[in-house]
Structure 1
Amino acid sequence: MAEPQESPLLRISGNIERTNVGDEAHFDRAMLERLPRRTLATSTVVTDGINHFEGFMLRDLLEWVGADGQRAIASALNDYEIDIPMADFHTFDVLLADTMDGDRLTVRDKGPLWIVYPRDDHAKLQDIRYDYRWVWQLNHLEIQ
């Protein structure tokens, strides 16, 4: 895997097979945009109404780096951190969004990357425990 040409948006470390900077995988926007794009329309607990998100499936990214573990520790630019079971990414179509309602996400509006669950597609995802897993300003995943 090539090294990023621009400043990385996301680092993945831990139990991964493919790396490009030391023992981590670093991704800039251009690298992430090579993944198959998906869209998701859902409500959130921090915005009004239904929002239309675009990005890529987290499971596709984790497959790309050869991630193997039981959990992903997701960290954000604001130092928020939470453990997410890896099973979530296979059970649900969890999106790593970089746009919302047609606009590229910025740090000011929960970007540049936001973990988005298909909340409206599964009653189970309306539980507050899942709301905590919607990490905005995501910048690091550690696979354990």
Structure 2
Amino acid sequence: MGHFRRRLILATIALFAAAPRALSEVAPEGALPAPSGPVILEVSGKISRSNSPDGKALFDADMLATFPPQELTTATTVTDGVNRFDGILMRDLLNHLGAEGEVVRAIALNDYVIDIPIEDFTAFDVILAHSMDGERLSQRTKGPLWIVYPRDDHPELDDIRYDYRWVWQLQHIEIR
């Protein structure tokens, strides 16, 4: 009985020693899981869900792939012809983060910055594209992420004011 009891105590100690590590790997209620790959998007500002100590939501490609996929076929002012874009709806991302604001400040890798009214994402099926014509976007091809409007579906989007909101090489979104 002494040998059995000793093994039980050691197994219990091992279980409790492992518990804090296992519990810390589980995201608390409302928090996002931590990215496991390279971060391709940071979201900050007026959001209620985050996964970093500074209150930002950090996403890798796999995390963004968990959102419902969205496909959009449209022409752009910077590519030839009509292209098919794959990604996620911007409003799905913002809703998932509990974003509350009036403006989305989009910041690209080349430091291009533009403020986009958050109402654009409810009025139109704007996507955060990761692929064009079946090819994953890279920095050379306006990626890894590109804000794309359904230009061909809405004549009012064929306007230079909206053209400025097509942010390629997107790296950061701030909700204001």
Q: Could you tell me the TM-score, scaled by structure 2's length?
A: 0.81
Gaps of 5+ in 2: 1-31
In the alignment, what sits opposite 1:84? 116
Which of the pair is proportionally richer in helix? Answer: 2
Bigger relative contact order, structure 1 or 2, given CA contacts below 8 A and separation 6+?
A: 1
Answering whether residue 104 of structure 2 is matched by residue 104 of structure 1, we say no
Q: Structure 1 segments of 4 or more deviating over 4 A?
A: none
Answering whether residue 51 of structure 2 is matched by residue 20 of structure 1, we say yes
1:100 CA displacement: 0.2
RMSD of aligned alpha carbons: 0.4
In the alignment, what sits opposite 2:37? 6
Map Cα deviations across residues 33-90 of structure 1 (whole Å, 9 max, x no partner): 0000010000000001100000000000001110000000000001000000000000
Q: Distance in 1 between matches of 2:144 and 2:38?
A: 12
* Matched residue type, 1:127: D
Map Cα deviations across residues 5-35 of structure 1 (whole Å, 9 max, x no partner): 1111000000000000121000000000000
Matches within 5 A, 1:1-144: 1-22=32-53, 23-144=55-176
Count matched residues.
Answer: 144
Task: Give % identity.
Answer: 57
Which of the pair is proportionally richer in strand? Answer: 1
Q: Distance in 2 between matches of 1:102 and 1:40?
A: 12
Largest Rg, 1 or 2:
2
Q: Distance in 2 between matches of 1:4 and 1:21?
A: 10
* Matched residue type, 1:29: A
